[in-house]
Amino acid sequence: MYMFKKFKSLFGAQDMTVGSPFSCLLKFAIPLLIGNIAQLLYSTADAFVVGRYMGDLGDVALSAIGSAMPPCNFFLVLFMGVGSGVTIMVSQYFGARDNDSLGVSIGNSITLIVILSIFVTTVASSLAGPILRLVGTPNETYEMARTYMTIIFLGSIGIGLYNALSAILRGLGESVFPLIVLLFTVVLNIFLDILFVAGFNMGVAGAASATIITQVLSAIICLVKVAVMRDLFKLNLTMLKPVKRIVKQIIHLGGPNALSMAIMFASITFVQSLINSMGYMVVTAITVTQRLDSFAMLPSQTFQNAAGTFTGQNIGAGKMERVRQGTKTVFLMCLTFTSVMVASMLLFGRHMLGLFTETESIIDMSMTFVRIATPAYLMMTLTGTLMGVMRGAGDSIGPMWMTMLNNVIIRIPLTYMFAYFTRSEARPTGHPNSIFLSMLCSMVVGSIISILYYRAGKWRGKAITGKNVPEPDMA
């Protein structure tokens, strides 16, 4: 009976306003980290299968997916924005025990996602080709990239609902159930990838279709989970009706985050045009590097979410000292996990890259990129922690401006400047190392700016529950 109760306690909402901050954060963040790794396996499975099962076209297909992802993400950030806004609202209302506002905010977020999905499906899918031409996608990969983008956009309802529903569960402190769902659907995604690509010879269209099917299934399962959490709120059709106050809060909290992510992905898309000009071999090398790159950044993304939920719940409960304690704890945990990830990449990177391509020149180039970016991954732990605390406190404007400064004002000019000064007869558009050198430099500046902003304390007093956070202290 005792073991059953302990197992059952892993599921459901987690109150992070009581108990040891370390224990609360560890219990919440570990399943979230594993879940984020599982989420990444969606795109990693696509890359692995097309790289291994498309024969001589494998490297070209990898390049096509790499070219398609930045413009895809540029539109999908709309869903991420709603998700980030609803996580803050849910965590603060849950901490304040305001169940009425909690239920309405959940219902309204679902309505917003459906509206945005219609927009992405109708507008973004028709723009796939022109966008790829605009960023100079190589002719060898254009048709594959356009097909991949179009299918992803047509299935955006599944991606959108999953983002919103998983954000709701994160705000409630629930991270184990989404993990179970993800592990199941990732296995299904890999099976469908192999079936569609290797079995039915559908190419990148099969990889995109497999991803969409599993995302839709994840969304359905999470929707059922949210609907049965009747001890916290009773989700019904009336909650889906837009309420002006709630919609404004979601837009106020999530809009700047969506804009900052859109700016980030727009800058990546802008840089992608430079990458495309370097040839599909460079595009392929950067595409497979980004598979490792994504795993290296996972702890920062995970603990940023953990910091946001922890901060939001404790601000809602008025327990301000715990916010300061949680900030220190999250940073140290994030730094530890990132160090392990980065060390693994440096030691076993070649073997990991070999999962996607057998071309030695591509693997050599990718490992160089990883070594250049290593310090940036470590600095992201601090930036991610501080931005998570700020957003959890209700301040989404400050992080938005920092993201804009880092990705637009600093990174893009540095990328083109480094490329310009490394031009040669063999590389007329610049050396590909320029891409990751500029990322490293912009991350150094971004870390300094985030520390200064956090110390200034301008993010205090932004809680939607009307409560303030303590003076910042990272000592």
Q: Tell me the average pLDDT across 303-321.
A: 81
Least reliable range by pLDDT among 6-10, 300-304, 378-382, 448-452 = 6-10
Distance CA 51, CA 354 (A): 10
471 pLDDT higher than 50: no
Judged by average pLDDT, the poorest of 54-63, 110-119, 161-170 is 54-63
Span of 40-44, 69-73, 132-136, 191-195 with lowest mean pLDDT: 40-44
Query: pLDDT class for 4, splitting at 50, 70, 90?
Result: very low
Contact 256, 399 (CB under 8 A): yes
As a whole number, the mean pLDDT across the chain is 81
Query: Which class for 270: exposed (0-12), middle (13-18), buried (19 or more C-beta within 10 A)?
Result: middle
Which is it for the CA torsion 54, 58, 60, 63, positive or negative? positive
254-276 mean pLDDT:
76
- Least confident range of 55-64, 152-161, 187-196, 395-404: 55-64
Span of 119-133, 165-179, 324-338, 403-417 with lowest mean pLDDT: 165-179
Asked if 191 and 41 touch (Cβ cutoff 8 Å), the reply is no
Per-residue pLDDT tens for 60-110? 777 787 778 777 877 877 787 788 778 878 887 887 777 778 888 888 888
pLDDT(418) > 80: yes
Mapping DSSP to helix (H, G, I), strand (E, B) and coil, where does residue 93 land? helix
Q: What is the maximal distance between C-alpha atoms in the chain?
A: 73
- Quick check: 468 pLDDT over 50? no
**Per the structure block, which two tokens stand in for 60?**
């070209």
pLDDT for residue 124: 85
- Which residues are CB-contacts of 179 (< 8 A; sequence separation ≥ 6)? 31, 32, 34, 35, 38
Quickly state the pLDDT bin for 469 (edges 50, 70, 90): very low
Task: Compute the distance between CA of residue 42 and CA of residue 60 in angstroms, rounded to an integer.
Answer: 19
- Residue 339 is predicted with a pLDDT of 92
**What's the pLDDT at 403?**
80
pLDDT the model gives residue 54: 64
Whether 342 shows a pLDDT value over 70: the answer reads yes
The half-sphere exposure of 398 on its side-chain side, counting CA atoms within 13 A, is 25
**pLDDT over 80 (residue 446):** yes
User: What is the per-residue pLDDT across 278-299, written as a single tens digit (0 to 9) for each?
Assistant: 887 888 888 788 778 877 888 8
Instruction: Compute the average pLDDT of residues 235-244.
Output: 82
The confidence band for 46, taking pLDDT boundaries of 50, 70 and 90, is: low
Reported as a single tens digit per residue, the pLDDT across 140-151 is 888 888 998 899
The per-residue pLDDT for 13 is 64
* CA nearest to 293, candidates 368, 211, 358: 368
Residues 303 and 470: their CA atoms lie apart, in Å, by: 20
Please state the rounded mean pLDDT for residues 440-457.
87
Quickly state the pLDDT bin for 163 (edges 50, 70, 90). confident
Confidence of residue 5 (pLDDT cuts 50, 70, 90): very low
Answer whether residue 475 shows pLDDT above 60: no
For 110-142, write each residue's pLDDT tens digit: 898 889 888 888 888 888 889 888 877 878 888
Q: What is the pLDDT of residue 131?
A: 85
pLDDT beyond 50 at 318: yes
DSSP string, 230-272: TTT----GGGGS--HHHHHHHHHHHHHHHHHHHHHHHHHHHHH
- pLDDT value at residue 98: 79
pLDDT at 454: 84
- Check whether 409 has a pLDDT greater than 80: yes
Name the pLDDT band for 464 (thresholds 50, 70, 90). Answer: low
3-state helix/strand/coil string of the chain: CHHHHHHHHCCCCCCCCCCCHHHHHHHHHHHHHHHHHHHHHHHHHHHHHHHHHCHHHHHHHHHHHHHHHHHHHHHHHHHHHHHHHHHHHHHHHHHHCCHHHHHHHHHHHHHHHHHHHHHHHHHHHHHHHHHHHHCCCCCCCHHHHHHHHHHHHHCHHHHHHHHHHHHHHHHCCCCHHHHHHHHHHHHHHHHHHHHHHHHCCCCHHHHHHHHHHHHHHHHHHHHHHHHCCCCCCCCCHHHHCCCHHHHHHHHHHHHHHHHHHHHHHHHHHHHHHHHHHCCHHHHHHHHHHHHHHHHHHHHHHHHHHHHHHHHHHHHHHCCHHHHHHHHHHHHHHHHHHHHHHHHHHHHHHHHHHCCCCCCHHHHHHHHHHHHHHHHHHHHHHHHHHHHHHHHHCCCCHHHHHHHHHHHHHHHHHHHHHHHHHCCCCCCCCCCCHHHHHHHHHHHHHHHHHHHHHHHHCCCCCCCCCCCCCCCCCCC
Task: Please name the amino acid found at residue 361.
Answer: S
pLDDT score for 474: 41
Q: What is the pLDDT of residue 55?
A: 58
